[in-house]
Chains A and B, each alone.
Chain A
Amino acid sequence: MANIVIDRIRKSFGTFEALKEVSLTINDGEFVSLLGPSGCGKTTLLRIIAGLETATSGDVLIGGKSVIGLPPKERGLAMVFQNYAVFPHMTVYENVAFGLRMQKADDARVKAQVEKAAGLLHIEQYLDRYPNKLSGGQRQRVAVARALAVEPKVLLMDEPLSNLDALLRLEMRTELKTVLQSAGTTTIYVTHDQTEAMGLSDRIAVMHNGVVEQVGTPVNVYNYPATRFVGGFIGNPPMNFIKVPVTNGQVAAGSEPLTAPKDSGNEVILGLRGEAVQLAPLPLGLEMKVRVAEPMGSHLLLTGSIHDQPVRVILPSSETVRSGDVIGLKLDPNRITWLSPESGKSIPAVTA
């Protein structure tokens, strides 16, 4: 068990800056996701922590000890790769045993550890087989078992579920969470899938263009995005961004104006989660023109515009709204994120 401190890591490939001074602290036993679109530097950061890539500058500490310059095997970590990287010429047993064999563990310990890891991942019945006889999901289990068998201080996972089909991904996600919760290993999990990151993580670090834009619990990052990018990247549908004029420190929203944040100028961006609204009669509510209404069963998805800017909102499926309707919406002031139109960063709201 160990905490990880990532201290001002920079990485350039030629003139391209993949990571621009990334700092992040991961607590002992914590599960942290590095979430971002492809090319944001999340995998590069993971590979630097693993020791497979060298940082241009900065430091990585595992359990309080700098590991920069140490080969991967001296860092006390294990890794699960996107394409599994389960050795095809070894049986499942030998795959799971690989790390222990490299540590020159005696046969009794190898056997005990392999059986324990195989049991956790439910692959006991495949131990004699070769990986090519297994399905993608089973191979992924072998890869995770191989990583857990060495009882690493730190577990690194690089998009481990992205090669699985949707149904299996959901199943493995739940199972991973169960297994890792019981193992209590410090885990860094790279993914571009926000639902994976939300579902699994204690905290999420949202990355964009080589920068960590925000670190926080899934609920925190979802409800209070620090930047426009984070709000747009997390959540389905993504957060709505409506540019609204500020008059006398207030923003008009139907009959009850909202208090604009102190630092806002003439205009401010109102960040609104699709479900943070209630239907309200006009002119009490904020006017929304509904272009398409899609009843989804569990909820009602409305696509349209507010102030001529595209928005998507979610209402309970009990409401009846049709395509072409003009409706009023009451906004929950506590669930509004105010963003600066210039910097795209959030501005603290005025608390009453």
Chain B
Amino acid sequence: MTNNRSWIPYLLILPSVAFLALLFIVPLVQTIWLAFSDNGVPSPANAQRMMADINFTRSIKNTFLLTIAVVPVQLAIALAMGTMVAKVGRGRETILWVWTIPLGISDLAAGLVWLSILQNSGYFNSLLLGLGVIGRQASWLSYQTPVALFFAIAVAEIWRGTAIVMVIIVAGLNQVPKEFREAAEIFGAGPWTRFWRITLPLIRPALQSALILRTVLAFEVFAVVYALGGRNFPVLVGEAYNWQNQNQNYGVAAAYAVLIMIISLAATLIYLKAIKVDPERLP
């Protein structure tokens, strides 16, 4: 019976495959063609123009710096949150619910929230003025204060993007039976050893997923940066946006898009290699 109907599974997944092919693969191919062609003939002109652009190196540097600063902090915070909430009995669900609120906020809205805090007439300056720490409104987000601007963007990104890492880590921690930690405790492992030698190796799959997802998203950072720094802090997606909308140059915008994709793929491959998940060594 089942052999005669072997086409049914294919039929059932056809809509999703067709949908993705239409709305993902076709634009992908178009984008790549757009990036590497000029007037209908293959050409490196767009890529060359992108690399010669004044903001190119800065945007790459900014994007990487931000990713390197934000992702490890997010991972550490998420691990701390996940470990702490595991100890909580009653109210655990409520705490998780509150912690995941940033997930429900769009990145632009998050950027605007932090803008209202950090702009010259924002809450942060009001607080500092009220406490008498500063004499007059300080500027945190201008091109004259690049370090403060970087910190502001990093903090906003950490606030906004840690929840998703935490959700994945908590799911991973839930997969580890408490007996593993208890056995380690019985045999003399302290809290720190239990965390490094038992918990962390056992949540490798969750760590891998969280890192890949979060890193790829970090390379695509845009709205928070745009809201807080505008063009004072160029990042890769911001440049693609500018070439597309301000300069109306779709070819260079496509070149940026392809570059972001290559970086993301490379990062994913590095994680897959670096954090190998051997199903044989999992619970």
Contact = CB atoms under 8 A, between A and B. Distances in A.
Interface of A: 50-52, 71-73, 77-79, 81-83, 85, 87-89, 98-99, 102-103, 130, 132-133, 146, 150
A150 B177 contact: no
A78 B190 CA distance: 15
Contacts of A133: 280
A85 B281 CA distance: 13
8 contacts: A73-B188, A77-B186, A81-B182, A89-B282, A98-B189, A99-B187, A103-B188, A132-B282
Contacts of B180: 85, 87
Contacts of B202: 88-89
Contact of A79 (B186, B280, B281): B186
B201 A146 contact: no
A32 to B, nearest CB: 19
A248 B253 CA distance: 108
A81 to B, nearest CB: 5
B279 to A, nearest CB: 8
Task: Give the interface SS of chain B, mostly helix, strand, loop or mixed.
Answer: helix
A331 to B, nearest CB: 48
Nearest to B200: A89
Q: A83, A88, A133, A146 — which one has the most chain B CB atoms within 10 A of its CB? A: A88
Given A89-B202, A132-B281, A132-B282, A102 B182 contact: no
B53 interface: no
A-B pairs with lowest CB-CB distance, top 8: A102-B188, A99-B187, A85-B179, A73-B188, A85-B183, A89-B201, A89-B281, A79-B186
Contacts of B188: 73, 99, 102-103
B247 interface: no
B280 A150 contact: no
B104 interface: no
A189 B203 CA distance: 31
Contact of B186 (A52, A82, A132): A52
B191 to A, nearest CB: 10
Contacts of A150: 187
Nearest to A74: B188
A85 B190 CA distance: 17
Contacts of B193: 102
A162 to B, nearest CB: 14
B187 A73 contact: yes
A150 B187 CA distance: 8
B283 interface: yes
Nearest to A80: B183
Contact of A83 (B177, B190, B281): B177
B60 interface: no
A85 B177 CA distance: 8
Contacts of A98: 184, 187, 189
A85 to B, nearest CB: 4
A55 to B, nearest CB: 17
B96 interface: no
Given A102-B193, A132-B281, A87 B186 contact: no
A87 B183 CA distance: 9
A73 B282 contact: no
B173 to A, nearest CB: 15
Interface string B243-283: 00000000000000000000000000000000000011111
Given A99-B187, A102-B193, A130-B281, 8 more contacts: A52-B182, A79-B183, A83-B179, A85-B183, A87-B180, A88-B282, A99-B188, A133-B280
B239 to A, nearest CB: 43
Given A81-B179, A83-B177, A88 B281 contact: yes
Contacts of A50: 186
A132 B179 contact: no
Contact of A72 (B179, B185, B201, B283): B185
Nearest to A83: B179
A82 B180 CA distance: 11
B198 interface: yes
Q: Most chain-A Cβ atoms within 10 A of its Cβ — which of B185, B186, B193, B279?
A: B186
Contacts of A89: 201-202, 281-282
Contacts of B282: 88-89, 132
Nearest to A102: B188
B125 to A, nearest CB: 49
A72 B281 contact: no
Contacts of A85: 177, 179-180, 182-183
